[in-house]
Structure 1
Amino acid sequence: MTSKAFVAGHPVDHSRSPLIFRHWFERYSIDGDYQRADVPPEGLADFVAGLRAGAFVGGNVTVPHKQAVLGFCDAIDKAAAAIGAVNILAVEAGRINGSNSDWYGLLANFDDRAPGWDEKPGSAIVVGAGGAARGVVYGLALRGFSPIRILNRTAEKAAALAKALAPGIGAELQGFALTDFTALAREAGLVVNTSTIGMHGSRFADLPLASLPDTALVADIVYTPLRTPLLAEADARGLRTIDGLGMLLHQAVPAFETWFGFRPEVTPELRALVERDMGLT
């Protein structure tokens, strides 16, 4: 019997998760199916309630539902509780269990693309105070980075996120405006962009990298384009960089293992497959 899973969001037609999962189904000879489910916010409660019937073994949850779906779960894991967001649902005997693998995807991508990146954890800057920042902050705290400065166009929103995350995260969290970047960058060993700036080639107007140490690492979770203007600027300065595609690939690993009982690998072959689908090769 085919085990079925899904990715639920709104919109969701752009998701490349089905491509990733179908690659693993074929590679590991697993009888599985993975499909998109476009679920508007007003339909989320009914959608999750319908999962209890058992037609699906589980699914991924993406924008804009990662925080809202928490309220429909019967249980959540430690990471989801600390982050305040769920991106994996597992259906077991009519119960809905929620977990979060965004932080895992970030760390696994960094470990893969920049081995040793966390040998000397110190101050880190996270750009953006939206939902994507939550898993990034949690992951960096796990690897010992502190203080973690959250920067946003609106300083109040950055401060509010820092306050919300602080109880479940073992690091000093601070919120600032983007205009504070230059002063804070002087002691930052890591910068991670979690905002949508950079998507489709858009640029930051107030994120000068000149004040970063020469040893700093600059990462972007945006993967369309693969080389965002931020990463291009960091490359030009000779800084180490990490693109966002690997995070997408690695965050899928715990989900696949949860539903299908097998831990898949993120291989160069899989990355190349997704890059071709994006029109990059």
Structure 2
Amino acid sequence: MSVLIAIPARYASVRYPGKPLVELTGATGKKQTLIERSWRAACAVGGVDRVVVATDDDRIRAAAEAFGAEVVMTSSDCANGTERCAEAHAALGGGYEIVVNLQGDAPLTPHWFVEDLVAGLRAAPGAGIATPVLRCDGETLNSFLDDRRHGRVGGTTAVFAADGTALYFSKEVIPFTSKRYGPIEPTPVFHHVGVYAYRPDALAAYPSWPAGPLERHEGLEQLRFMENGGKVLCVEVTARGRQFWELNNPEDVPRLEAMMAQMGLE
């Protein structure tokens, strides 16, 4: 089953303009842009046939081609990464059986997250899209709550049924819990990892659907599938001792660099 990874990247982010070209310093002092680190994370995934950067910006294209990435230019009209992946897949002539959207702000995504995600979608023929979820420990949950207290957009959380079918995603912390958890204690909150695997028919249909009120309020693209009756499969993944965080705000840069230093990532 052929697999394409597309890394959507845009320069004109509302919250963080120029984010893909922000440099992150690794454990050895090596500096690499966010988009390069995300591309290298994608290239480490097993069982993938092709990796491309999908962008509408010539600055990102030049940077990506300089470190050896294949680039697909897409329209500036794409509203989100899913629309950009749909356009990139079409521009490549289609034909891939699974398209993975590895967003360009998650360079710490371990390869097994994506490998487990693809395996989960393959095993669920009724799902058109799958996405990973990671059970929060107390330290991560406290970071989420701290972001919300300070008005920052932090990680996204997910709730899902016993069979993995997503019930809702939110930038608020759901489900509600009043208990205080220790740093490594498992919690009932699941961190939504911003990676998606699509079947091509579901991906191609997505841009034709209007954004619904939930997608508009939350700013979460996956809610469009749910608002149009699609099944989104949540695939639980495990950290295996790795730390994970996305770069959502400028304040996240030192957080990611500290994580890379602790894990010895160059």
Check whether TM > 0.5: no
Give TM-score, length-normalised by structure 2: 0.32
Give TM-score, length-normalised by structure 1: 0.31
User: Which has more radius of gyration?
Assistant: 1
More helix by share: 1
